[in-house]
Structure 1
Amino acid sequence: MKIFLDTANIDEIREAADIGVIEGVTTNPSLIAKEGRDFKATVKEICEIVHGPVSAEVIALDWEGMVAEGKELAAINEYIVVKVPFTKDGIKATSMLAAEGIDVNVTLVFSPNQALLAAKAGAAFISPFAGRLDDIGHDGIEIVSQCQDVVLNYDYEAEIIAASIRHTEHVRRCAEVGIDVATIPFKVLMQMMKHPLTDIGIDKFLEDWNKANQ
């Protein structure tokens, strides 16, 4: 399973990239606004750090605007993936951008039916939101898995990105059912590296070593 980092914080991205376990980054208008930086400059810098898919989201809601913004974003760097919301206009924009060889990530997906339409439109990535589905009483990871089954059934080239990941259990379940990609917050990535028994084991090794060499 590929791991993308869901953030626009340059320091977090640098640290995760230095560790060597992330293959891409997803951003959205909220994450960019949180950093208080220029949008295009930020995604360009992210591309220079990660050298993998970097999702940059359009602001327009009409297909003409999405296509125009998408082309501008794709011109920033070869790693840019244009992120569009799942709407009728978003799907139309996806098909048009994909026809021109521009990778698209269809976001705000909440059902296998939506995933099917996004795949048929030529999306390179499809992002069902696990955490937000959990919030309304569904099993988010199960629906993410159903979305992937739809794509695999018909050999579409789209990769499923499990988005709205809230905790390490979400990540574990994604890996268990074979989801293509999980995009996770920096905090969750750090939590994945921690286990109390690991810390206890290291302390015990050091204690034994010091005793043996007294």
Structure 2
Amino acid sequence: MPSKLDQLRSMTTVVADTGDIEAVRRLKPVDCTTNPSIVLKALESPDFAEAMTEAVSWGAKQSGDREAQIADRLAVSVGATLVGLVPGRVSTEVDADLSFDTKASIARATAMIAQYAERGIGRERILVKLAATWEGIRAAEVLQKAGIDCNLTLVFSRAQAIACADAGVFLISPFVGRITDWYSKSLNRTFTPEEDPGVQSVRDIYNYYKAHGIKTVVMGASFRSTGQIEALAGCDRLTISPALLQQLGDSDGTIARALSPDSFAAVEKIDMDERAFRWALNEDAMATEMLASGIRGFAKDLVKLREIVRQKLG
């Protein structure tokens, strides 16, 4: 019998949530996703020693905010390495501290795509990753029209998902585990995979998209267990840590398909303008808190990366 990972691959595109080069080589995902935390960890590896030296040397000749420019170049270096290892796409994140600045997010994303192009990597291999704030979604709308596909991350609510779809976003990343963490702490309880709030959130978004013929890809993320993953088997894509990918690869047994594009319940279409978006987010304590804390967490690791760069610059 094929492993659970092989079974999952037959119904879902499997993405590795890592910058660990050896793990990517071993587990052979279709795509890879990164964020400032993953880039920071990747740069601790000897694999990227030369990339650090090159980026600092390049940055020393630049004007303006050299630390930010070097940090971006390092993120592109990690992404470029991953592009060479997977057949699909690699997500590279726009700085978290630009999450509420549409114009700056567009400029930074465009600059990153240009850096990939300098390395001979076309935009069809990259997803620009932006936080699913109202400003981030507006930036993605402009980028999508310019032919730059986007991955809207830190999605915790249907309101965010609808706004992303209305903007023509290529892909969204609902964060399963972080939703579950919030409810587990808030309600002081644990959940089975079927009743898991994070799983239910992704299922709800997936159903809404399929019911209305929305082409935006749903990619579940931030998993805490293989049970959560199995409960979303059949989702468009799932981005999974190397540890959980390994567990699935080492496990036999049968995975039943939980989601299918041909099976959905009818649901009312919702208009999502800025007022409706902000009100819906305000009324959802979990989504509001987790979006804010997610941005803060990524920004914190971005500060750490820039501090490393500052020290290298001397």
TM superposition score category, shorter chain reference: 0.7 to 0.9
Query: By how many angstroms is 1:193 displaced?
Result: 1.8
Write the distance in 1 (CA, Å) between the matches of 2:171 and 2:113.
Answer: 15
Is it true that 1:192 corresponds to 2:255 in the alignment? no
Q: Amino acid of the residue matched to residue 75 of structure 2?
A: F
Write the distance in 2 (CA, Å) between the matches of 1:86 and 1:132.
Answer: 15
Is it true that 1:33 corresponds to 2:40 in the alignment? yes
Is it true that 1:179 corresponds to 2:235 in the alignment? yes
Structure 1, unpaired ranges of 5+: 198-214
SS at match of 2:199: helix
Partner of residue 150, structure 2: 104
Partner of residue 140, structure 2: 94
Q: Deviations over 1:39-94 (max 9, x none)?
A: 21110111111121111000022111211121122331331100000111101101
Write the distance in 1 (CA, Å) between the matches of 2:200 and 2:182.
Answer: 14
Q: Amino acid of the residue matched to residue 132 of structure 2?
A: F
**Percent identity for Structure 1 against Structure 2:** 32
Partner of residue 197, structure 2: 139
- Whether the 8 Å contact between 1:165 and 1:182 is mirrored in structure 2 is no
Write the distance in 2 (CA, Å) between the matches of 1:51 and 1:150.
Answer: 29
| Equivalent residue in structure 2 for 1:80, among 99, 118, 126 | 126
| Equivalent residue in structure 1 for 2:220, among 120, 140, 162 | 162
- Whether the 8 Å contact between 1:3 and 1:23 is mirrored in structure 2 is yes
Q: In proportion to residue count, which structure has more strand?
A: 1
Write the distance in 1 (CA, Å) between the matches of 2:139 and 2:247.
Answer: 37
Partner of residue 102, structure 2: 63
* Cα distance change, pair 171–196 in 1 and its aligned pair in 2 (3 A): closer
Write the distance in 1 (CA, Å) between the matches of 2:251 and 2:210.
Answer: 34
Write the distance in 1 (CA, Å) between the matches of 2:93 and 2:149.
Answer: 12
Write the distance in 1 (CA, Å) between the matches of 2:148 and 2:18.
Answer: 22
Query: By how many angstroms is 1:162 displaced?
Result: 0.3
Alignment RMSD (CA, Å) = 1.5
Q: Amino acid of the residue matched to residue 74 of structure 1?
A: I
Q: Amino acid of the residue matched to residue 26 of structure 1?
A: T
Partner of residue 51, structure 1: 87
Query: By how many angstroms is 1:153 displaced?
Result: 2.1
* Cα distance change, pair 74–153 in 1 and its aligned pair in 2 (3 A): farther
Partner of residue 116, structure 1: 162
- Whether the 8 Å contact between 1:130 and 1:163 is mirrored in structure 2 is yes
Query: By how many angstroms is 1:196 displaced?
Result: 8.1
Q: Deviations over 1:153-181 (max 9, x none)?
A: 22121110101012211111110xx3111
- Whether the 8 Å contact between 1:26 and 1:54 is mirrored in structure 2 is yes
SS at match of 1:4: strand
Give the count of matched residue pairs: 191
- Whether the 8 Å contact between 1:162 and 1:181 is mirrored in structure 2 is yes
- Whether the 8 Å contact between 1:47 and 1:54 is mirrored in structure 2 is yes
- Whether the 8 Å contact between 2:42 and 2:78 is mirrored in structure 1 is no
Q: Amino acid of the residue matched to residue 200 of structure 2?
A: E
SS at match of 1:49: coil
- Whether the 8 Å contact between 1:115 and 1:150 is mirrored in structure 2 is no
- TM-score scaled by length of structure 1: 0.85
Write the distance in 1 (CA, Å) between the matches of 2:252 and 2:150.
Answer: 40
Write the distance in 1 (CA, Å) between the matches of 2:181 and 2:175.
Answer: 10
